């Protein structure tokens, strides 16, 4: 999904020029001719970056910025100003601006500023998400997806959250059952209290009882210290028992007693220990079938399956894939220090048409690999070779099979200026071929904002050749600045 940039400027020519620069790079442009119009658009949401003129009739840029921050608008704001005095800059930054441009700003300066602002916004969003997760305050509003299937999960989860009713989350492997469990925890009165997750299928058979219920020092060989157990660790909060169908039958008896009595018997302890935990369990198995086969206790099944909640497979909510891809791109951009803007329309159609047997976990890992492979601003079908069957472009192919981003210019916009490449020197003589080539390559790098695959394609040379010429001409600093 393309990032939306709102330009608030009373000068229509300035808006159209910025529109051309942004849309050429695949951003979605929206314009507002005044401060009040810009505030109205911001109130509707969906804006990723704001470019805001300082001097406008009705409301100044500074007034618009302060009003936007007071109303809760958190997206990055970049100021457009003809006055770059230190007092002006300090006042803007104090009001909440992330950056400023001195008009007229060059296309490359605009693009670098917008990308930096987006990256800072992504970083802030990721830090906020991690803080909420660590504090146990993730709610159902943090779940990605607006499909009918996910709306049902959110509605049912919000109903169950305020209660202490046991919840059994069912669904295929990789659908995000633990994420739903964390949302239940964060939406309940126990938010902020411990959330302890246990994968029952990964517990060593001889240590299941000790891990779940704890043990006293010296209660068995190797018990050199007292261990509280997962139930006690989760006291006051939520204990999430993932893959509950994998729990051995003898441990199912002890688990049932712990749930019924609200107490556990640590190995070697002389008396039971009271615990206050809410149980949320999950499985990708058919527990009812296991009950019929005798591999899961019927009484425990009914104790856990009080409020069943089914997590849908990803193929049942394909309309959520664009939002999930955007979420993962944002996260991996922060983790890997990349600046991928999103997936191209062709790549998104490819992802939405795939069945995803591994569900959201498989999509997450696939996007992660694509982020590492990607060479352009947008993920292309060949960045998903396991799905598309396409290989990345060869370094020596001029441009390779890279998808060309459409350049949409308004019909009434004056043409962009010619490339500043001169063939004659100041005395009227021909310049050397080497110097002309340097200017042309530099201009191409600036016009295409450091997207080297696109530069190579436009110049009709291979990427390896382009990188060699960049080194020979001493243009590495420009590439690093725009890359």
Mean pLDDT of 155-182: 95
Q: Give the up-direction half-sphere exposure of residue 343: CA atoms within 13 A in the CB hemisphere.
A: 25
Contacts of 120 (CB under 8 A, 6+ apart): 76, 98
In this predicted model, what pLDDT tens digit does every residue of 286-336 receive, in sequence order?
Answer: 999 999 999 999 999 999 999 999 999 999 999 999 999 999 998 898 888
Q: Which residue has the tokens 């808006």?
A: 15
pLDDT given for residue 418 in this prediction: 52
Residues forming beta bridges with residue 379, ordered by sequence position: 343
Q: Answer whether residue 442 shows pLDDT above 90.
A: no
- All domains of the chain in start order, with CATH: 4-133 (3.40.50.2300), 148-311 (3.40.50.300)
Mean pLDDT highest for which of 62-71, 274-283, 393-402?
274-283
Mean pLDDT of 353-378: 92
Q: Answer whether residue 405 shows pLDDT above 70.
A: no
CA distance to 37, 176, 231, 325, 394, per residue, from 361 (Å): 42, 8, 28, 12, 30
Model confidence band, residue 399 (pLDDT cutoffs 50, 70, 90): very low
Higher model confidence: residue 393 or residue 419? 393
In this predicted model, what pLDDT tens digit does every residue of 68-110 receive, in sequence order?
Answer: 988 888 889 998 887 656 777 788 788 888 888 887 778 888 8
Phi, psi of 173 (to 5 degrees): -65, 135
In this predicted model, what pLDDT tens digit does every residue of 445-461 receive, in sequence order?
Answer: 888 777 888 888 888 88
CA atoms of 463 and 442, how far apart (whole Å): 15
- Residue ranges in 12-141 assigned as alpha helix (H): 12-24, 35-43, 61-70, 86-95, 107-134
- Across 105-119, 291-305, 405-419, least confident range: 405-419
pLDDT given for residue 455 in this prediction: 84
Q: Answer whether residue 159 shows pLDDT above 60.
A: yes
Model confidence band, residue 483 (pLDDT cutoffs 50, 70, 90): low
Contacts of 232 (CB under 8 A, 6+ apart): 214, 264, 273, 275
In this predicted model, what pLDDT tens digit does every residue of 1-33 receive, in sequence order?
Answer: 678 999 999 888 888 889 988 888 888 899 999
Mean pLDDT of 192-201: 94
CA atoms of 388 and 357, how far apart (whole Å): 16
What pTM value is reported for the model? Answer: 0.69
Asked whether 255 and 304 are in contact (CB, 8 A), the reply is: no
């Amino acid at each position: 999904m393309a990032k939306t940039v709102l330009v608030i400027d009373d000068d229509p020519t300035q808006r159209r020029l910025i529109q051309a620069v942004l849309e050429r790079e695949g951003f979605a442009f929206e314009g507002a001719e005044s401060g009040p119009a810009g505030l109205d658009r911001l109130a509707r949401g969906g804006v990723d970056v704001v470019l805001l003129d300082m001097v406008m009739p009705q409301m100044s840029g500074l007034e618009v910025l302060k009003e936007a921050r007071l109303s809760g608008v958190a997206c990055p704001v970049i100021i457009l100003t003809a006055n770059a005095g230190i007092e002006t800059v300090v006042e803007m930054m104090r009001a909440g601006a992330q950056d400023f441009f001195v008009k007229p700003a060059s296309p490359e300066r605009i693009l670098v500023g917008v990308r930096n602002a987006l990256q800072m916004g992504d970083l802030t969003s990721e830090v906020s998400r991690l803080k909420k997760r660590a504090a146990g305050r993730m709610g159902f509003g943090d779940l990605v997806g607006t499909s009918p299937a996910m709306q049902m999960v959110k509605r049912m989860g919000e109903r169950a959250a305020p209660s202490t009713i046991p919840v059994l989350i069912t669904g295929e492997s990789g659908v995000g059952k633990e994420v739903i469990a964390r949302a239940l925890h964060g939406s309940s009165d126990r938010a902020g209290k411990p959330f302890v997750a246990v994968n029952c299928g990964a517990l060593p058979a001889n240590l299941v009882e000790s891990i779940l219920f704890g043990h006293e020092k010296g209660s068995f060989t190797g018990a050199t210290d007292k261990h509280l157990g997962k139930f006690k660790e989760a006291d006051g909060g939520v204990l999430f028992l993932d893959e509950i169908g994998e729990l051995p039958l003898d441990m199912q008896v002890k688990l049932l007693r712990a749930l019924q009595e609200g107490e556990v018997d640590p190995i070697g302890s002389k008396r039971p220990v009271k615990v206050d935990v809410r149980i949320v369990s999950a499985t990708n198995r058919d527990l009812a079938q296991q009950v019929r086969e005798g591999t899961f206790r019927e009484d425990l099944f009914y104790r856990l399956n009080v409020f069943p909640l089914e997590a849908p497979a990803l193929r049942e909510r394909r309309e959520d894939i664009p939002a999930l891809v955007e979420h993962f791109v944002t996260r991996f951009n922060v983790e890997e220090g990349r600046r991928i803007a999103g997936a191209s329309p062709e790549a998104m159609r490819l992802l939405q048409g795939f069945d995803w047997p591994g569900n959201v976990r498989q999509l997450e890992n696939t996007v992660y690999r694509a982020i590492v492979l990607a060479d352009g601003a947008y993920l292309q079908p060949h960045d998903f070779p396991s799905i598309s069957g396409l290989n990345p472009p060869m370094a020596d192919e001029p441009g390779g099979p890279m998808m060309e981003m459409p350049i949409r210019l308004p019909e009434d916009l004056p043409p962009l200026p010619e490339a500043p490449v001169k063939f004659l020197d100041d005395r009227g003589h021909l310049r050397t071929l080497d110097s002309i080539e340097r200017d042309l390559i530099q201009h191409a790098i600036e016009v295409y904002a450091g997207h080297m695959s696109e530069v190579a394609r436009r110049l009709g040379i291979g990427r390896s050749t382009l990188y060699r010429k960049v080194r020979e001409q001493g243009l590495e600093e420009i590439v690093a600045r725009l890359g």
